[in-house]
């Protein structure tokens, strides 16, 4: 039933997938901003260091509520049929994302601009 | 064949572990509060959790508050003998004070010697007259007046720092001259910030930048997106407040203080002319040399003292003093916008 | 032979239905609607080995349509189609490789299924960020594919005895 070639195939796929997972885990960097896109177009960009609540709504009444609190981003509310987006855990690392497929809403964490000035001496 | 696969897997795993940069475990937090030293205090630092950061911030607040009360010359605090208490008892009796005040006064005496008297905490009687006129002038700009020069000259006879009698063992301070007043405004903020910074560092808060009303002290580093240590970026206020550019330079600072003295900080207007709060001991009038002076060095108390002193000195004398001191750099900004630097200042500039 | 085929078809579709239903109960922590374990692949691969690529394809499409209309909606069907087609292509090609057993074919089928779904999802939301889910999904497909491959072999051999 299981032959040698199967094992090789499984091993190759396993290695590739594991490597990808390891790479992604080890290059995890804190994000700087949350970029909300609707149908692929950027709707709003929010800095992660400011608490905020944003509601994305379209003409047909589909809405998603995105909240930034303490540097974490969650989808707190939505009226899509599966609300998988709401069930998603909070995100804050670069490249993490929460997707609401039915509404085509994506919240992605990106690096954001480097803080240029930390303070001003007066 | 199996062995080969396993060993390859292991090898890759090990390589990745070695080359993996540890994900940054400390996050950046910010907090600010008013009330202390009559100004805004901002703390930006890295901690493992918000709770840790909050408790560090609380510690900073508590420490600063203690210094604020002790060094206050305008307010009384129940059960606390502070600088105001010393002033109130000038010519009357010695006042027992906290060791922290003794240390500040001794430090201030050192700064007096270092700067040839250009920063003098015994200058209070002259400064208070200016303070009164300035306060009245801000309350009612139409009735703003300058202090009388004769009165200023009279008061300047009561500014001998050696008339401050400090008894270290008894922890008392006595102003022998009844007309003398202490004003620690030129040194107190920086001094307090430096002391609090030391406490922060000992407590384990090592990557933080604190700004008390623009008196900036950077400890350790901040981190860039890849979790590498980089210097803090601190801007210098453009003395021209009308300009579209808020800052004139951004400096890279790490384990350093940046203090600026400027004409724009505290001033009032009389007959269309602005009179600021840094009074030249020679002329008894606001110093006219520059629009602002910025000092960079590790110790905040030194930076604060020097910024006032150098502001009151002609350029050559100021430059001489700065170059003599190790680890101190300065920038002078003239009224027409010209800038001059000490020899090592340029190296600090980012933008 | 034809009536046997019809009977086999019917049985396999019924099995697909049951498996799809079971799938819905099992939830994966990946928040992309339409992502499934791919249990129904068992039916497709069985058909592939029992009857042939064409029949497997037909079965797969019928299964997607019926299940889609019963349990899902139009958009989830889109993902099922994408997964199903890519999965079928890979399995048919894999079957031609010498030395690869049903398990190996099923692995590729499972991986292909999930990759197809992610590809369509990325297209639908117009964003490349979903690609970060790929490694996890590939692993899931690998595991599911292995299990199905073994089960499929069992199923095929028991059904062959009936022929």
Contact present, B341 and B319 (Cβ < 8 Å): no
Question: Are the beta carbons of B234 and A23 separated by less than 8 Å?
Answer: no
Greater model confidence, B95 or A120: B95
The arithmetic mean of pLDDT across residues B124-152, rounded, is: 95
Stretch C105-120: mean pLDDT: 89
Which carries the bigger pLDDT value, residue A28 or residue A1? A28
More confident residue, B20 or B7: B7
B314: three-class secondary structure by DSSP: coil
Q: Which of B16, B50, B238 to mutate to test the interface with A (most CBs of A within 10 A)?
A: B16
ipTM of the complex: 0.80
Confidence of residue B5 (pLDDT cuts 50, 70, 90): low
- CA nearest to B182, candidates B200, B201, B167, B160: B160
From B267, B320, B22, B232, select the one nearest B131 (Cα to Cα): B267
Say yes or no: C31 contacts chain A, CB-CB below 8 A: yes
The gap from C-alpha A6 to its chain's centroid, in whole angstroms, comes to 35
Mean pLDDT over C103-115 rounds to 89
Q: Please determine, for residue B181, whether its predicted confidence score (pLDDT) is greater than 50.
A: yes
> C93 CB contacts (<8 Å, ≥6 apart)?
C108
Question: What is the per-residue pLDDT across C142-157, written as a single tens digit (0 to 9) for each?
Answer: 888 888 888 888 888 8
Name which of A45-54, A73-82, B116-125, C29-38 the model is least confident about. C29-38
Taking an 8 Å cut-off on Cβ atoms, the answer to whether A118 and B265 are in contact is no
Do B196 and B172 meet the contact criterion of CB atoms below 8 Å apart? no
Look at residue B22 in the predicted model and tell me its pLDDT.
Answer: 43
Percent of chain B with pLDDT over 90: 81
Q: Nearest Cα to A105, choosing from A47, A40, A44?
A: A40
Predicted local distance difference test score (pLDDT) of residue B119: 95
Spacing of C-alpha C5 from chain mean position? 20
C158 touches chain A (CB under 8 A): no
Confidence band, pLDDT 50/70/90 cuts, at residue B11? low
Q: For position C27, what pLDDT does the model report?
A: 60
pLDDT score recorded for residue B14: 56
Q: How confident is the model at residue C36 (pLDDT cuts 50, 70, 90)?
A: low
Instruction: Flag whether residue A71 sits within 8 Å of chain B, measured between CB atoms.
Output: yes
Residue A13's nearest CA partner among B230, C146, B153 is: C146
pLDDT, position B211: 94
Would the pLDDT of A82 be above 80?
Answer: no
Model pTM score = 0.64
* Residue C28: band (very low, low, confident or very high) from pLDDT cuts 50, 70, 90: low
Picking from A41, A64, A98, A101 by the largest number of C CB atoms within 10 A of its own CB, the best residue to mutate is A101
Residue, of B39 and A29, whose pLDDT is higher: B39
Specify the pLDDT at position B323: 96
Percentage of chain C beyond pLDDT 70 is 89
Mutating which of B41, B224, B225, B236 best tests the A interface, going by the most A Cβ atoms within 10 A?
Answer: B225
Q: Which residues of B109-123 are buried (b: 16+ CB within 10 A; e: fewer)?
A: bebbebbebbbbbbb
Asked if B259 reaches chain A (Cβ–Cβ under 8 Å), the answer is yes
Nearest to A101 among C97, C125, C136 (CB): C125
What was the pLDDT predicted at C86?
92
In three-state secondary structure terms, B294 is strand
Q: Which position has the token pair 């292995």? A: C146
Q: Cβ contact (<8 Å) for A119 and B225? A: no
Q: Across residues A99-118, what is the average pLDDT?
A: 80
The answer, yes or no, to whether residue A28 has pLDDT greater than 80, is no
Q: What is the mean pLDDT of residues B238-264?
A: 92
What mean pLDDT, rounded, does chain B reach? 91
Own/partner contacts of B24-27, CB < 8 Å, gap of 24 or more, are: B24/A29, B24/A30, B24/B223, B24/B227, B26/B207, B26/B223, B27/A30, B27/A71
Provide the pLDDT for residue B2: 60
Nearest CA in chain A to B231: A118
Whole-number Cα distances in Å, B284 to B217, B340, C152: 31, 25, 98
Count of residues in chain C: 163
Highest mean pLDDT: which range of B6-20, B185-199, C125-139: B185-199
C53: contact with A, CB 8 A cutoff: no
**pLDDT, position B12:** 59
Residue B24 pLDDT greater than 60, yes or no: no
DSSP secondary structure letter of residue B80: B
Closest CA to A49 of B45, C143, B231: B45
Give the tens place of pLDDT for each residue, B51-87: 999 999 999 999 999 999 999 999 999 999 999 999 9
Q: Is A42 helix (H, G, I), strand (E, B) or coil?
A: strand
């Amino acid at each position: 039933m299981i032959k040698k070639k199967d094992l090789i195939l499984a091993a190759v796929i396993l290695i590739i997938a594991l490597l990808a997972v390891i790479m992604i885990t080890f290059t995890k960097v804190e994000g700087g901003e949350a970029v909300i896109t609707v149908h692929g177009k950027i709707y709003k960009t929010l800095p992660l260091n400011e608490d905020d609540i944003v509601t994305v709504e379209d003409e047909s009444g589909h809405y998603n509520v995105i909240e930034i609190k303490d540097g974490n981003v969650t989808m707190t509310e939505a009226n899509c049929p599966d609300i998988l987006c709401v069930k998603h855990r909070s995100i804050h690392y670069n490249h993490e994302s929460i997707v609401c497929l039915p509404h085509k809403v994506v919240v992605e964490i990106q690096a954001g601009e480097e803080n240029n000035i930390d303070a001003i001496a007066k | 064949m199996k062995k080969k696969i396993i060993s390859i897997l292991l090898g890759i795993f090990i390589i990745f572990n070695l080359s993996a940069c540890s994900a940054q475990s400390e996050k950046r937090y910010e907090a600010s509060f008013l009330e202390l030293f009559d100004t805004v205090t901002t703390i930006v630092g890295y901690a493992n959790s918000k709770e840790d950061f909050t408790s560090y911030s609380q510690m900073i607040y508590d420490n600063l508050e203690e210094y604020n009360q002790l060094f206050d010359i305008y307010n009384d605090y129940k059960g606390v003998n502070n600088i105001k208490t010393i002033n109130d008892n000038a010519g009357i009796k010695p006042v027992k004070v906290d060791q922290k005040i003794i240390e500040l006064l001794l430090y201030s005496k050192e700064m007096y010697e270092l700067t040839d008297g250009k920063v003098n905490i015994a200058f209070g009687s002259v400064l208070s007259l200016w303070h009164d006129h300035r306060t009245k002038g801000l309350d009612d700009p139409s009735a703003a007046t300058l202090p009388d020069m004769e009165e200023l000259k009279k008061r300047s006879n009561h500014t001998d720092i050696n008339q401050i009698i400090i008894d270290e063992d008894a922890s008392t301070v006595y102003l022998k001259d009844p007309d003398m007043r202490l004003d620690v405004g030129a040194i107190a903020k920086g001094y307090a910030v430096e002391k609090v910074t030391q406490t922060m560092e000992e407590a384990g808060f090592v990557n933080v930048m604190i700004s008390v009303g623009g008196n900036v002290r950077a400890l350790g580093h901040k981190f860039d997106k890849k979790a590498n240590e980089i210097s803090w970026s601190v801007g210098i206020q453009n003395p021209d407040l009308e300009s579209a550019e808020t800052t004139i330079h951004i400096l890279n600072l790490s384990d350093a203080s940046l203090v600026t003295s400027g004409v724009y900080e505290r001033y009032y207007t009389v007959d269309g002319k602005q009179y600021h709060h840094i009074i030249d001991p020679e002329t008894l009038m606001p110093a006219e040399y520059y629009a602002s002076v910025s000092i960079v060095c590790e110790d905040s108390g030194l930076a604060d003292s020097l910024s006032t002193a150098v502001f009151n000195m002609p350029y050559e004398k100021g430059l001489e003093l700065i170059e003599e001191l190790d680890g101190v750099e300065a920038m002078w900004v003239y009224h027409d916008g010209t800038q001059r630097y000490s020899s090592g200042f340029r190296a600090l500039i980012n933008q | 032979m034809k009536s046997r085929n019809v009977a086999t078809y019917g049985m396999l579709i019924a099995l697909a239905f049951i498996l799809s239903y079971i799938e819905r109960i099992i939830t994966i922590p990946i928040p992309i609607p339409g992502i499934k374990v791919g249990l129904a692949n068992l039916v497709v691969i069985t058909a592939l080995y029992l009857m042939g690529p064409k029949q497997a394809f037909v079965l797969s499409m019928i299964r997607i349509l019926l299940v889609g209309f019963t349990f899902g909606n139009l958009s989830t069907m889109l993902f099922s189609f994408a997964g199903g087609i890519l999965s079928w292509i890979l399995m048919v090609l894999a079957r031609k490789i010498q030395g690869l057993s049903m398990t190996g074919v099923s692995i590729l089928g499972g991986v292909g299924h999930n990759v197809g779904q992610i590809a369509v999802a990325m297209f639908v939301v117009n964003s490349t960020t979903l690609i970060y889910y790929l490694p996890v999904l590939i692993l899931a497909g690998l595991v599911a594919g292995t299990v199905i491959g073994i089960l499929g072999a069992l199923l095929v051999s028991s059904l062959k005895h009936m022929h």
